[in-house]
Structure 1
Amino acid sequence: MRRTINMCEEHTVSLVDVLEEDEELEEEASAVLAGSDSDHCSYPQGYVKRQALYACSTCTPKGAEAAGVCLACSYKCHEGHDLFELYTKRNFRCDCGNRKFTELQCKLHPDKDEVNSLNKYSHNFFGVYCTCSRPYPDPDDQVEDEMIQCVVCEDWLHGRHLGCVVPDCVELQEMICESCMNKNPFLWTYATHLAVQHAAVQVKVENGLEDSKGNIPNNEKEDDDVEEPSCKRSRVEEVPNCKLRQLQALGQKTVQSGAVFWPPAWRSKLCSCNTCQERLSEANLSFLLDESDTVLTYENQGKNNEQRQQGHDVLMSALDNLNRVQQLEIIHGYNDMKAELKDFLQRFAADGKVVTPDDIRQFFEQQSRKRRREDSRHFYST
């Protein structure tokens, strides 16, 4: 996942840009927040598979123990506090009101353990991100860039600090940062065969053995034909269905540097034999075998929840209590006003003019006068 960072210097945008940006922000907020409960503390659910989280710098300032609170607690228990938005984290249990909060008791679920020992924390909980440990947004950063979240450590990194080229359609791909790749070397084997091809990690053969035309020298090709020692061959034969062993046996390698981007459904291609499951478990990476763990899946669930809630909108419920004629009148009136407002705003957008409060006030005054005239005609015609 990624976040866009705008340049700090002043710049001019059109009304169309503002409307489109507002719509994108609304969709993003809906995707993130609709997947979490805004009314009830998530603590009773235990270590939630994925949820929106916040850190409170008012209650846990730098130097204190790191802590995270759920969406509902950010509203009910930390209103008016300075909060860091952490986007989403996996397998986290709400800390609100536990031992780390010396002067605050959770209003929604006061009976909590002193500490959630399985929670994982990072410098994100103190409002800094990336290898550069800078805040987001960063008022001192003059570079227009985007931040992308590593699916393993869940830190957010600037695109320019990933050590590779950020591919197109990055919002549909998952990224593992270089640090996490190096902590789990077997991931480099998967990267050689599964990662997005135009990511920097994929374009070089290890040790720079490509010639200027991208061909592997003959002596290296010959090495591939050399018979493997019997001990190595026997290890491969021990686990004949291990996909990772099969990929390792191919002997293809790439330069092991930079972040790695993975295409959709790449997790389904990872080996799930007993040996690999144990390896992933020991590295705390078992979630990589779970395709429903992805942020994209969580966001889609949030959007679906939002759509279901909109199906029970208060205005729609009110319409249900009106007769058919009244419903049609309200719907036509709403559509007419929406169309006129769109035309009104488009004139400003086409001329590159700024919409002022007076312009908006004038528009609705015109709508009000128009409505009174229509009501008057309706009154005298009856």
Structure 2
Amino acid sequence: MAGEGSSGGGVGGGAAVVGAFQDEAEPTVTIGEYIEGIEAEELEADLVLGGDDGKECTFGGGYLKRQAVFSCLTCVPDGVGGVCTACSLACHDGHEVVELWTKRKFRCDCGNSKFGSHACKLFPEKEPENPANSYNHNFKGSYCTCSRPYPDPEAEKQVEMIQCCICEDWFHEDHIGLNSIEEIPRDEEGEPIYEDFICQKCSPQCYFLKLYPDSIWASNKQSSSHGDTEKIENGVITNHSNGEKTSDSGKFPKENAAPEKASLDESSDGKCKLEMNISTKIQSADSEKNMPFFMSKGWREVICRCETCMDFYAQRGVAYLIDKEDSIEEYEKVAKQKREKKLEQQEGAEANFLNSLDHVQKIEILTGINDMKNEFQSFLESFDPSKPVTSEDIRAVFENLAKKKKQRLS
């Protein structure tokens, strides 16, 4: 999955890691590369978990705008229960747990009536159910229109999946209703250039978006049409070629003809950006061919926030689209901020510890670190790559370190 599954190896050294077989060496990796890989995995985990340290059940926070959610199939085989990060670790360790990445407006179910006699260790006094929670087939470990698991044990290669920002289901790129996956907006390096994806099942619910100029839509043809000159700035689409705000440009597919678009301007004094009542302008799209939507970066900031439009969003059940905290981009931004703060605190604690030591103690610590580095380096250089590393080998390394320390202090 993009962002979710979203991630054996060996142990790296100053020398290279080699394979267990003499004749077939595996790709090599240095200690630096190994550490970088660990840090990348830690960052990815923090982004998925939203910076949650997994120490407290989130039930007390109510229906959180967005949080990482897990489904325990051991406790709730029919997949109609979800737990927070802390409960997945403390209450369901060793169980068959499905990682669902993030869900909006969800409250932890751990230990409620869905879990039978399995009580929550972190927050045992829960209400019987959370009626506002929403569950889909993801909670059973199935995804996409094909209802396959991820990772798929029957697939020769795990195919990239993308998440709909409305229903929050995950879809294989070749199962989203396009003629070819080449139609998915990407840059020259093949990286996605869209911020949000809306699946073809949910697109009628968001059909009102077609009233907006084409610049809110991500497209592979952006650079050749208007992508070079148009930008979304402070919620306004600006044409930099002449300094004017853009109006309609480009066409939608004939089989899914769009309503006449408005010339977008900033709303002020509560006036509608679109200068129309969208509830009367939009016609039912049931008879149209439903198409997936790919939205450009910053598109949510463009959506009108006048009273009439906001009432319309509420009626359609998509009022969260104008909530900045709902977006994955904001969720990951907060996660990065929490991670940076945590690392700063760790560095501060380490600095305070070192500052509390006298000169002799500092020298002893630095010498010990240097001895350990040299000992591991020697071990890796002399180690027979055809043999596995055993507990006895590791014990011997630390025994040598203890001997060196004893000699140094004697």
- SS of 1:100 mapped into structure 2: helix
Distance across 1 between alignment mates of 2:197 and 2:4: 13
Distance across 1 between alignment mates of 2:199 and 2:298: 18
Whether the aligned pair in 2 keeps the contact of 1:5 and 1:144 (CA below 8 Å) is: no
> Residues 243-265 of structure 1, C-alpha deviation per residue, up to 9 Å, x if partnerless?
3457999xxxxx97543332332
Residue 327 (structure 1) aligned with residue 340 (structure 2): no
Question: Which residue of 1 is the match for residue 11 of structure 2?
Answer: none
Residue 113 (structure 1) aligned with residue 127 (structure 2): yes
User: Which residues in structure 2 correspond to 1:1-382 (within 5 Å)?
Assistant: 2-3=3-4, 14-16=27-29, 19=34, 22-33=38-49, 35-62=51-78, 66-162=80-176, 163=178, 164-168=183-187, 169-170=191-192, 173-190=195-212, 192-198=214-220, 205-208=251-254, 241-245=271-275, 258-313=291-346, 318-327=353-362, 330-331=365-366, 334=369, 357-358=388-389, 369=400, 372=403, 376=407, 378-379=408-409
Structure 2: which amino acid aligns with 1:2? G
Whether the aligned pair in 2 keeps the contact of 1:96 and 1:106 (CA below 8 Å) is: yes
> Residues 24-60 of structure 1, C-alpha deviation per residue, up to 9 Å, x if partnerless?
3221112223532522211111111111111111111
Which structure 2 residue ranges, 5 or more long, are not aligned? 8-24, 226-249, 263-268, 282-287
Of 137-146 and 122-131, more deviation after overlay is shown by 137-146
| Shift, 1:302, TM fit | 2.2
Whether the aligned pair in 1 keeps the contact of 2:277 and 2:308 (CA below 8 Å) is: no
Which structure 1 residue ranges, 5 or more long, are not aligned? 7-11, 210-223, 225-231, 233-238, 250-254, 348-352
Classify 1:358/1:59 alpha carbon distance in 2 versus 1 (closer, same or farther; 3 Å). Answer: closer
| Shift, 1:131, TM fit | 1.6
Whether the aligned pair in 2 keeps the contact of 1:146 and 1:159 (CA below 8 Å) is: yes
- Where is the helix percentage greater, Structure 1 or Structure 2? 1
| Shift, 1:115, TM fit | 1.7
- SS of 1:175 mapped into structure 2: strand
| Shift, 1:354, TM fit | 7.3
Higher relative contact order by CA 8 Å / sep ≥ 6: 1 or 2?
A: 1
Whether the aligned pair in 1 keeps the contact of 2:5 and 2:150 (CA below 8 Å) is: no
Structure 2: which amino acid aligns with 1:205? K
| Shift, 1:186, TM fit | 1.0
Classify 1:358/1:58 alpha carbon distance in 2 versus 1 (closer, same or farther; 3 Å). Answer: closer
| Shift, 1:199, TM fit | 7.4
Of 169-178 and 121-130, more deviation after overlay is shown by 169-178
Percent of aligned pairs with the same amino acid: 35
> Residues 150-202 of structure 1, C-alpha deviation per residue, up to 9 Å, x if partnerless?
221111112222324252443872222222112321123347331212179x9
Whether the aligned pair in 2 keeps the contact of 1:42 and 1:70 (CA below 8 Å) is: yes
Question: Which residue of 2 is the match for residue 217 of structure 1?
Answer: none
Distance across 1 between alignment mates of 2:193 and 2:40: 13
TM-score for the superposition, normalised by structure 2: 0.67
For this pair of structures, how many residues does the alignment match? Answer: 336
| Shift, 1:143, TM fit | 3.2
| Shift, 1:333, TM fit | 5.4
Distance across 2 between alignment mates of 1:181 and 1:56: 31
Question: Which residue of 1 is the match for residue 12 of structure 2?
Answer: none
Structure 2: which amino acid aligns with 1:184? C
C-alpha RMSD over aligned residues: 4.3
TM-score for the superposition, normalised by structure 1: 0.71
Distance across 1 between alignment mates of 2:274 and 2:371: 61
Classify 1:100/1:142 alpha carbon distance in 2 versus 1 (closer, same or farther; 3 Å). Answer: same
Classify 1:24/1:309 alpha carbon distance in 2 versus 1 (closer, same or farther; 3 Å). Answer: closer
Question: Which residue of 2 is the match for residue 212 of structure 1?
Answer: none
Structure 2: which amino acid aligns with 1:104? H
Question: Which residue of 2 is the match for residue 227 of structure 1?
Answer: none
Whether the aligned pair in 2 keeps the contact of 1:199 and 1:260 (CA below 8 Å) is: no
- SS of 1:178 mapped into structure 2: coil
